[in-house]
Amino acid sequence: MNLKDIHNVFFIGIGGIGMSALALYFKHVGKTVVGYDKVESPITKELQKNGISVHFEDDLNLIPESFKSKENTLIVYTPAVPETHSQHQYFRENGFEIKKRAEVLGIITKDTFCLAVAGTHGKTTTSCILAHLLNECGMPITAFLGGISENFNSNFLLEGTEYSVVEADEFDRSFLHLSPDVACITSMDADHLDIYGDSEELKKTFGDFSKKIKPGGILFVKNGLPLEGMTFGIEDDSDYRIENIKIEHGTYIFDLISPKGRLEKTRFNQPGRHNLLNGLVAFAMAVHAGCPLHRLAGALETFKGVERRFSYQIKEAGLVFIDDYAHHPTEINAVFDAVSEMYPSEEVTAVFQPHLFSRTQDFADDFARSLEKFTVVLLLDIYPAREEPIAGVTSEWLLEKIKNPNKKLVDKSNLIHELKKTKTKILVTMGAGDIGLEVPKIKEELAYAS
């Protein structure tokens, strides 16, 4: 497929964070972009502000006439939208060029110097840090991000086409469509077992991804992962490593050791050791893209963060409210560790919305152990996303496994009322479903109440 021959791009599921970044790219390079999504959201509103037409009904009459010519129209879809979707069926039955988001990303980036971030955790934060570092160094980059960077106020950046930054998503083996020059793997914890079956198959596929790196390219792996590459870690023997960590007023200060030299008293403002690792590997990748060390040190300090990644909503003396996308036990543990490190003597209320019936079933005991460490646990119903219910897999079932007397199943409509009754100073909301839409309401009500 030659993208130069494409005039129209139709997105099925345009409101997804990765899909919307691609939609913005095609709009910026002069294509006519139209898309469908199930519900209106801040993302779809932003797309509309950028001149992209979005509709919310699965109606064939809403497909523009100009998009019914298959010779110059590309259809991009996400597996989150079922194939029973009538617009999807129309395009498929009429022989249109139909590609998954990951395939299109691979086509766009194959002729660039591609930097790809892989791993079951940390992809979005790492890729946002990396895009920020490269941008601060004046590199001509295009970045497709899986979250809203607070430096760019967007999930998309177009400052040139020589370099590209992408998330290499393991879901549905999507990352095998990429051919990066520089890549990293941050983690390989079991996840997406509905796709892979078991953790060994997942690890094997990460190995397959490592072989997609272009000849002469480089792979960075977190120290301890069973893959060959340059290593990164904290207080160990990694090629890139962090030592002498201190915390001052919520900021990490540390020494950064690399094969290119040592940077002392480097500063980074994102809480959590997992974020230190994300920043470290982004730094390493930027070095190998040609950025000078002294500029990277300053750029690390000015990284503001990513929406819904340990994102402070309220940070006052009497109340701290943090929102995070954590939807896997390992990520919940990372949030707990970060909160405990920053606020070691405080009680913490955790609100969690499980994401997917299959993930809840696969990791129920691990979820319970992760959540029960918080002082108070408020559990919402499972967010189904693309799935049908699984018999017996409910939030009530998960709640029973949590060995903490201060736990409760809460309906989303009653959440703010419950939060106002809690006396803990620290509040954390977590989940990958629609809990993010509740965050502004919670912030407004709690800020008003305090």
13-28 per-position pLDDT tens digit = 999 999 999 999 999 9
Residue 235 structural domain: 110-301
pLDDT digits (tens, 9 = 90+) for 382-405: 999 878 999 999 999 999 999 999
Same domain, yes or no: 289 and 146: yes
Structure tokens at 322: 């943090």
Residue 190 has pLDDT above 80, yes or no: no
The amino acid that residue 427 corresponds to is L
Q: What is the mean pLDDT of residues 364-380?
A: 97
pLDDT digits (tens, 9 = 90+) for 106-154: 999 999 999 999 998 899 999 999 999 999 999 999 999 999 999 999 9
Quick check: is 306 in a domain? no
* Residues of the chain above pLDDT 70, percent: 97
Q: What is the mean pLDDT of residues 328-334?
A: 93
Same domain, yes or no: 58 and 86: yes
Residue 44 has pLDDT above 90, yes or no: yes
Q: Which ranges of 137-198 would DSSP assign to H, the alpha helix?
A: 193-196
Same domain, yes or no: 394 and 318: yes
Local confidence band at 193 (pLDDT 50, 70, 90 cut-offs): low
Same domain, yes or no: 434 and 348: yes
Query: Helix, strand, or coil here: 333?
Result: helix
> What are the binding residues?
119-125
Residue 173 has what pLDDT? Answer: 77
Same domain, yes or no: 281 and 355: no
**DSSP sequence for 44-97:** HHHHHHTT-EEE-S--GGGS-GGGG-TTSEEEEE-TTS-TT-HHHHHHHHTT-E
> What are the binding residues for ATP?
119-125
Structural domain count, the chain: 3
> CA angle, 389 as apex, 307 and 415 as ends, to 5°?
45
Same domain, yes or no: 116 and 35: no
